[in-house]
Amino acid sequence: MRTHEELLALFDHEMREHARPDGPGVRVERDGPVVRQSGGPDDWNGVVWSSPTLDEESAGAAVAAQVAHYEAQRVARGVTSFEWKLYSHDRPASLADRLRAAGFAPEPPETLMVAAVEDVPADAGPPPGVELREVHDEAGVRLMTEAHEAAFGRDASSLRDHMLARLAAAPEEFFGLVAVASGLPVSAARMELCAGTGFAGLWGGGTHPAWRGRGIYRALVAHRARTAAARGYRYLQVDASADSAPILARLGFAALATTTPYVYRIAT
């Protein structure tokens, strides 16, 4: 059984320092002390890892280099913003201050939570009247999109396009679920299966306000845990919101760190 410190080190090594592209047409590259992903305007663009050797003397130059890179990506590929995904154990201690001084704006922090697959209860089913459907095609993705828009109250067309592209390019790395009640999508979630690693990432999990508190989120986690186990993954990873973190803790997930998205809007 790994300690929390060992799990965090494994996560940093496999999922950050050696990150894989999360969609077609994007690339992951190392630029000195950082690893970043670059894609088009509908892709996730940003820094996923910074070296533990980054210090007070080198941090300013590293931040400036990434700003320059993504500003060039606006001209080349139409990128309008990017994110520096800062974890609570990243160094130097002043990195958050340096990001704010360079024009980055922090968004609400999330909690990095990890569980061994075998420790997650996998027997929870949906409540009466709710059916879980696995997503394998465009129609399923559109149902997931409708569920996300109902859950979060905002347009999810960029997420829809990302899921469709991922499903077309690497269906073995995409797993979607939608919860349907009376023919309507009321919740949805997905899992990204990172080939060559021990981690499967859980994303989404948004539920229509009228259907919250009935166990749908727990059922979505359980279904994905069963699928991850069947495909040989050892760990589940979530960037948990304040709402989902307590539920995940009850399901066996441990908090390893916090992560804060620092977003830079590129001037036009």
Q: Any idea where the domains of the chain sit in the sequence?
A: 4-111+259-265, 121-251
Cα distances (Å, whole numbers) of residue 173 to 23, 69, 140, 160, 194:
10, 28, 16, 16, 7
99, 84 contact by CB (below 8 A): yes
205 against 134, higher pLDDT: 134
Helix (H, G, I), strand (E, B) or coil at 26: coil
Average pLDDT, whole number, for the chain?
Answer: 95
Burial 40-61 (b: 16+ CB within 10 A, else e): bebbbbbbbbbbeebeeeebee
> Which option is the CATH number for 121-251: 3.40.50.1100, 1.50.10.10, 3.20.20.220, 3.40.630.30?
3.40.630.30
Count of CB atoms situated within 10 Å of the CB of 3: 8
The pTM score is 0.93
Q: pLDDT, tens digit, for every residue of 75-114? A: 999 999 999 999 999 999 999 999 999 999 999 999 999 9
Average pLDDT rounded to a whole number, residues 16-43 = 93
CATH class of 4-111+259-265: alpha beta
Q: What percent of the chain has pLDDT over 90?
A: 87
Same fold, 4-111+259-265 and 121-251: yes
Read off the amino acid at residue 170: A
